[in-house]
Amino acid sequence: MPLTFFAQSKAPCPPPPASRPAPVKLTAEQDRARMLELLGLREDQMRRPPATDPKSPNAANYDEAKANVYPNLPDALKMKNGQSVTTADRWWKQRRPEIVADYEREILGRAPENLPQVTWEVVSEKPENWRGIDVITKRLVGHVDNSSYPQITVNIDLILYTPAHSGGPVPVLMEMAFARDWERALARPFVVPPPPGTPGHWGVDGYEALKRGWGFAVLNPVSFQSDDGDGLTQGIIGLMNKGQPRGLNDWGTLRAWAWGASRALDYLGSDAAVNAKEVGLVGHSRFGKAVLVTMAYDPRFAIAYSSSSGEGGAKLYRHIYGEQMSNLASASLYHWFCGNFLRYGGPLTPADLPVDNHELIALSAPRPVFIGGGSNDGDGYAIQGGDAWADPKGMFLAEVAATPVYKLLGGNGLGTAEFPAVGTTIANGDLAWRQHQFGHTPAPNWPAFLDFAAKYLHTPAGEKVLAQAQ
Ligand code: GCU
For 189-224, the pLDDT digits (tens) are: 777 666 655 665 565 568 889 999 999 999 999 999
Cα–ligand 1 centroid distance for 335 (angstroms):
13
76-106: pLDDT as tens digits: 999 999 999 999 999 999 999 999 999 999 9
Alpha-carbon distances of 66 from 8, 70, 322, 400, 460, rounded to whole Å = 63, 10, 11, 20, 50
Which atom of ligand 1 is closest in space to residue 312's alpha carbon? 9
Please choose from 175, 289, 291, 323 the residue to mutate so as to test ligand 1's pocket, defined by most ligand atoms within 8 A of CB: 323
Query: Do residues 391 and 64 lie in contact, with contact meaning Cβ atoms separated by under 8 Å?
Result: no
What pLDDT is recorded for position 272?
98
Cα–ligand 1 centroid distance for 45 (angstroms):
24
Average pLDDT on 150-176 reads 97
Residue 1 lies in a domain: no
User: Is residue 414 over pLDDT 80?
Assistant: yes
Of 291, 329, 319, 445, the closest CA to residue 388 belongs to 319
Average pLDDT on 151-156 reads 98
Q: Is 306 in the pocket of ligand 1 (CB under 6 A)?
A: no
Residue 74 lies in a domain: no
User: Is residue 292 over pLDDT 60?
Assistant: yes
Residue 152 lies in a domain: yes
Q: Is 391 in the pocket of ligand 1 (CB under 6 A)?
A: no
Q: Which domain CATH number covers 460?
A: 3.40.50.1820
Residue 311 lies in a domain: yes
Confidence of residue 458 (pLDDT cuts 50, 70, 90): very high
What pLDDT is recorded for position 204?
53
Residue 9 lies in a domain: no
Bigger pLDDT: 281 vs 197: 281
Residue 417 lies in a domain: yes
Q: Is 323 in the pocket of ligand 1 (CB under 6 A)?
A: yes
What pLDDT is recorded for position 1?
28
Domains in the chain, number: 1
User: Is residue 18 over pLDDT 60?
Assistant: no
Residue 423 lies in a domain: yes
Average pLDDT on 397-423 reads 97
Q: Is 310 in the pocket of ligand 1 (CB under 6 A)?
A: yes
pTM: 0.94
Q: Which range marks the domain in which residue 348 is found?
A: 23-68+81-469
Q: Is 286 in the pocket of ligand 1 (CB under 6 A)?
A: yes
Q: How many Å separate Cα 218 from the centre of its chain?
A: 14
Residue 464 lies in a domain: yes
